[in-house]
Amino acid sequence: MADKKITQLNNITGANLVDADEFVVVDVSADETKAITLGELKEAFDAGSGFVRVTGDTMTGDLNFGDNDKALFGAGSDLQIYANGGYSYIDEVGANNLNIRTNGANIGIFDTANSRYMALFATGGAASLYHNGSKKIETTSTGVDITGTLTSDGLTVDGGANSELRIDTDAAGYLQLGQFTNGAFIGTSSTNATYGKLRLGAGTKRFVDVDTSGDISFYEDTGTTPKFFWDASAESLGIGTSSPKTDLDLSSSTGPQITLTRSDTLNNLGDTLGRLNFYNSDASGDGANNAAIIEAVAASSTGAHANLLFRTKSTGTDGSDAAEAMRIDSSGNVGIGTSSPSYPLDIAGTIAQQEGSVRNTLSSTGTGFEITANAAAANVSRSIVFKSSASGGAVSEKMRIDSSGNLLVGKTSADNTTAGTTIYSTSGFSSTRANNNVAILNRLNNDGDIMQFRKDGTTVGSIGSAGGDAYYAGSVRGVRFDSTQVIPCNEAGAPRDADTNLGATDSRFKDLYLSGGVYLGGTGAANNLDDYEEGTWTPVMGTVTHTNSGKYAKIGSLVFLSLGDRSADAIADGGSMTITGLPFTVAGWEWTGTLAATWADASNSYQYRVATGRHTPDNSLIVFNRGGAATTTSDPWNISVVYRTNA
C-alpha cells in the first residue's frame, strides 16, 4: 500500500465500520499523523459540506484566522484582511483603489455596540463624521458644514491662478493670512509683489482691504468707500479720509468728533472721565515722563459735569505727572494758576513783564483783532490796548486799560472832555459824547427799575419805567412823568395820593412859576386858582388924579384895592365921590358893603369914619360918606376895596 495512492485501495471488508472509526494517515518522513473520522470523511464525500471547495462553496459556520493569518484576495493578493493581535487591518497592498460600495441607502461605521455612528455616508447625499455619536462634519451641496471649533495647522483656499488664500503659521509661529502664490505670500518676494489684495467682504460689499504695500482700508456699510485707512508708508491713520495729512486725521461732513467715555461707576468727585497724555521719550528712554496732560475730571457725583484740566511740565524727568497750569471749571470759568476760578477769567500769581516798548501782542489770523501791552520804555507801567477791525479792514484801537487801572473806551486819555467813556479804578465813570446820547439804558420786556442807587448795599433810590412813563424815586416816594403831568408815586412808580409834600417848613422852595391854575383843598372847578397878580394903579378922584399910585392884588376873579393920601374934593356928610381908573373891569353893579376908611379932622387928629361904596359897570367906584362931618381937600384918608372882575 505504500506505493499506491489512497484512491487506488480496494474496498475494505470485514466487520462493519462505524462513523467514529478513524482514518489515519502517517507521514513517515515528517513524523506526522493525520486522522479523520469516518463520519467526517463520509460527510465530505457524500454531502460536499464538510470542506470548502476550491471552485466555490458556502460556509455554514465561522471561518477563523489566527494572528497574522490573512484572507487574501486578488491574483497578487492585493487585498488583505488580517489581525496581528494588536490591530486589525484591511490593506490594499497593490496599486489599485480600495472601494467600498453599497446598493442600499447608506454606508455606516458604528461602535461595537452598534448604537452610535462614527461615520455615515448617504447614497447621493451627505458624508458625515461623528464624535461620540454627535455629528461634527457634514458635506453639503455647496461645501462642508462644521459643528463646533475647527482646529487646523493651516487653511488653503484655492481660487485659481494667483489667488490662493492661505492661513498658516511661519517658522516663528506667527499666524499668516494672505494670498499665496508661487510658494510665498503676496508681497514677500519680487516675483509676486504685483499681485492683488487681501479682501474681506460679503457678496459685492467690501469690508477690509489689505494691499501689498501694507495699506489697510476699512469700509463703511455700503462697502464702497473706505472710512478707516492706515497709510503704511506715511505711518498715518485716517478716519473718514483715505488721505491722512497727519499722524491721525479725522474727517467728517458734519464736523469730526472724538468721544472718551468712562464706563464704570464713579468712586469720588474728581475721578478722571477722560485723559490725553503727551509723553517725552528722551535719549535715556524716559517714556514715563508725562510732559503734558489734558484731563476731564468729574465735578458732580454722577459725572454729568466736569472740569477740564490742562497740565504741563517745565523741568524734571522723574516720570511724575505734569502739574496743573490751567483749568476750565464746570461753570465755564477759566483759571490760570488757580484750581478754583471765581470769574470767567481768573489769573493767579505774577504775570511776567518783558522789557521794551511792547510787552506782548495777541492777534487773530489776518486783521481780526489784536491785544497789545504797551509801554513808553522799559521797566515802566504799561497799558493794555484792545484793537479790532470792521468788515476785514485794518485793526484800530477800541479800548484800553491804562497804567492806573482806568478802562478807556473810544478814547486814549482819562479825562472828561474827550469823547468816549472812562471807568476810573477809584472814582466811578464818566462818558462824553458830541451830538448824540451819552448813555442808553434799556430795560426789556417789563416795567421796573432801570437804574438803582445803593448805599452800603441798601437801595436808596431808582430810576425806572412804569406804564411807559419814567419815574424818579427814593426808597419810599418819588415823582412820575407822563405826557401831561408830574405826579407823586411810590418807589416802583405807582401813583400816591395826598401824602407827599412839596418842600418843608425849614426847607422851602423859593419861587413857583405857573402858567395854569392851582387846585387848593380839592379837585373840583371851584378849587382851581388859575390867576394871581399884584401891581399898582393910578386912581382919579373926581377931576383930580391921585398923586400916589394905588396898590392891587388879583386872586382869581377877586380884586383887592388899596388907595390913600388926600382926596381931590371934599365929601360932604352923606355925600359921595366917584373914583375911576380901576385896574380891572367891574363884573357889574355890585355893592362892596361897608368900607374901612379913615379921615383926619381939622386938628389933624385921625378919626375913623364909616363909608360905603358901589361899583358901577363903567369901571368906577362911588364912595358914600357916612361919617357925619365933611372932609376937606387937606384931610388925609385911606380906603380898602374888594370887587369881582370878569377880566
- Report pLDDT digits (tens) over 125-146: 999 999 998 999 999 998 899 9
- How far apart are the C-alpha atoms of 430 and 150, rounded to whole Å? 88
Inter-residue long-range contacts of 252-260, CB under 8 Å, 24+ positions, other chains counted: 260/296
Q: What is the mean pLDDT of residues 188-214?
A: 63
Domain end (from 349, 378, 398): 349
Residue entry with cell 472509526: 21
Tell me which DSSP letter residue 584 carries.
S
What residues contact residue 169 under an 8 Å CB cut-off, 6+ apart?
153, 154, 175, 176
Q: Is residue 164 part of a domain?
A: no
Q: Can you give the CATH number for the domain in which 550 is found? A: 2.60.90.50
- How far apart are the C-alpha atoms of 583 and 587, rounded to whole Å? 13
Q: Is residue 421 part of a domain?
A: no
476 and 555 inside one domain: no
Is residue 370 within a helix (H) or strand (E), and if so which, with residue range? strand 369-374
The dihedral formed by the CA atoms of 411, 416, 420 and 423, expressed in degrees to the nearest 10: 90
- pLDDT beyond 50 at 490: yes
Length of the chain: 647
Per residue in 519-578, pLDDT (tens digit) is 888 888 888 888 888 999 888 776 666 666 688 999 888 888 887 655 545 566 666 777
As given in the structure block, the three cell numbers for residue 529 are 386858582
Residue-by-residue DSSP string for 68-126: T--EEESTT--EEEEE-SS-EEEEE-SSS------SSSEEEEE-TTS-SEEEEEETTS-
Q: Is residue 175 part of a domain?
A: no
Task: Give the number of other CB atoms < 10 A from CB of residue 166.
Answer: 17
What pLDDT, on a 0 to 100 scale, did the predictor assign at position 96? 87
Task: Return the higher-pLDDT residue of 55 and 335.
Answer: 335
291 and 343 inside one domain: yes
485 and 573 inside one domain: no
Amino acid identity at 508: R
What pLDDT, on a 0 to 100 scale, did the predictor assign at position 68? 92
User: Are the beta carbons of 493 and 447 closer than 8 angstroms?
Assistant: yes
Point out the least confidently predicted range of 82-86, 472-476, 642-646.
642-646
Domain end (from 110, 125, 149): 149
**pTM (whole model) above 0.75:** no
115 and 58 inside one domain: no
- How far apart are the C-alpha atoms of 472 and 411, rounded to whole Å? 31
- Secondary structure (3-state) at 332: coil
Residue entry with cell 393920601: 565
Q: Is residue 225 part of a domain?
A: no
Per the rule left: phi > 0, alpha: psi between -120 and 50, beta: everything else, 56 is left
65 and 115 inside one domain: no
**Count of the separate structural domains present in the chain:** 5
Per the rule left: phi > 0, alpha: psi between -120 and 50, beta: everything else, 457 is left
3-state helix, strand, coil in the chain (%, to 5): 0, 40, 55
As given in the structure block, the three cell numbers for residue 526 are 371851584
Taken in order 244, 246, 247, 253, the sign of the CA dihedral is negative
- pLDDT beyond 70 at 637: no
114 and 86 inside one domain: no
- How far apart are the C-alpha atoms of 190 and 46, rounded to whole Å? 84
Q: What is the mean pLDDT of residues 272-288?
A: 69
11 and 67 inside one domain: yes
Point out the least confidently predicted range of 39-48, 56-65, 121-130.
39-48
Domain end (from 92, 127, 162): 92
Task: Give the number of other CB atoms < 10 A from CB of residue 517.
Answer: 14
- How far apart are the C-alpha atoms of 75 and 94, rounded to whole Å? 10
The helix/strand count (H/E) of the chain reads as 1, 50
Point out the least confidently predicted range of 38-47, 71-80, 367-376, 507-516.
367-376
As given in the structure block, the three cell numbers for residue 13 are 471488508
What pLDDT, on a 0 to 100 scale, did the predictor assign at position 163? 58
579 and 489 inside one domain: no
**Phi and psi dihedrals of 529, rounded to 5?**
-95, 100
469 and 569 inside one domain: no
What pLDDT, on a 0 to 100 scale, did the predictor assign at position 198? 67
Q: Is residue 234 part of a domain?
A: no
User: Are the beta carbons of 376 and 357 closer than 8 angstroms?
Assistant: yes
User: Are the beta carbons of 582 and 621 closer than 8 angstroms?
Assistant: yes
Q: Is residue 578 part of a domain?
A: yes
User: Are the beta carbons of 171 and 163 closer than 8 angstroms?
Assistant: no
- pLDDT beyond 80 at 50: no
81 and 115 inside one domain: no
- pLDDT beyond 70 at 233: yes
As given in the structure block, the three cell numbers for residue 94 are 497593490
Q: 563 exposed, middle or buried (CB, 10 Å; 0-12, 13-18, 19+)?
A: buried
- How far apart are the C-alpha atoms of 170 and 193, rounded to whole Å? 19
Q: What is the mean pLDDT of residues 77-88?
A: 91
pLDDT bucket at 6, cuts 50 / 70 / 90: very low
Q: Is residue 213 part of a domain?
A: no
User: Are the beta carbons of 396 and 389 closer than 8 angstroms?
Assistant: yes
What pLDDT, on a 0 to 100 scale, did the predictor assign at position 455? 93
Mean pLDDT score across all residues of the chain: 78
Domain span at residue 627 reads 529-644
553 and 492 inside one domain: no
Q: Residues of the chain with pLDDT > 70: what percent?
A: 70
What residues contact residue 356 under an 8 Å CB cut-off, 6+ apart?
375, 378
Q: Residues of the chain with pLDDT > 90: what percent?
A: 26
- How far apart are the C-alpha atoms of 322 and 335, rounded to whole Å? 17
Most confident of 56-60, 301-305, 623-627: 301-305
- pLDDT beyond 90 at 39: no
The dihedral formed by the CA atoms of 13, 14, 20 and 24, expressed in degrees to the nearest 10: -60
- How far apart are the C-alpha atoms of 629 and 574, rounded to whole Å? 9
Residue 416 Cα distances to 108, 405, 411, 428, 430, angstroms: 114, 16, 10, 12, 7
Q: Is residue 584 part of a domain?
A: yes
628 and 579 inside one domain: yes
- How far apart are the C-alpha atoms of 246 and 238, rounded to whole Å? 8
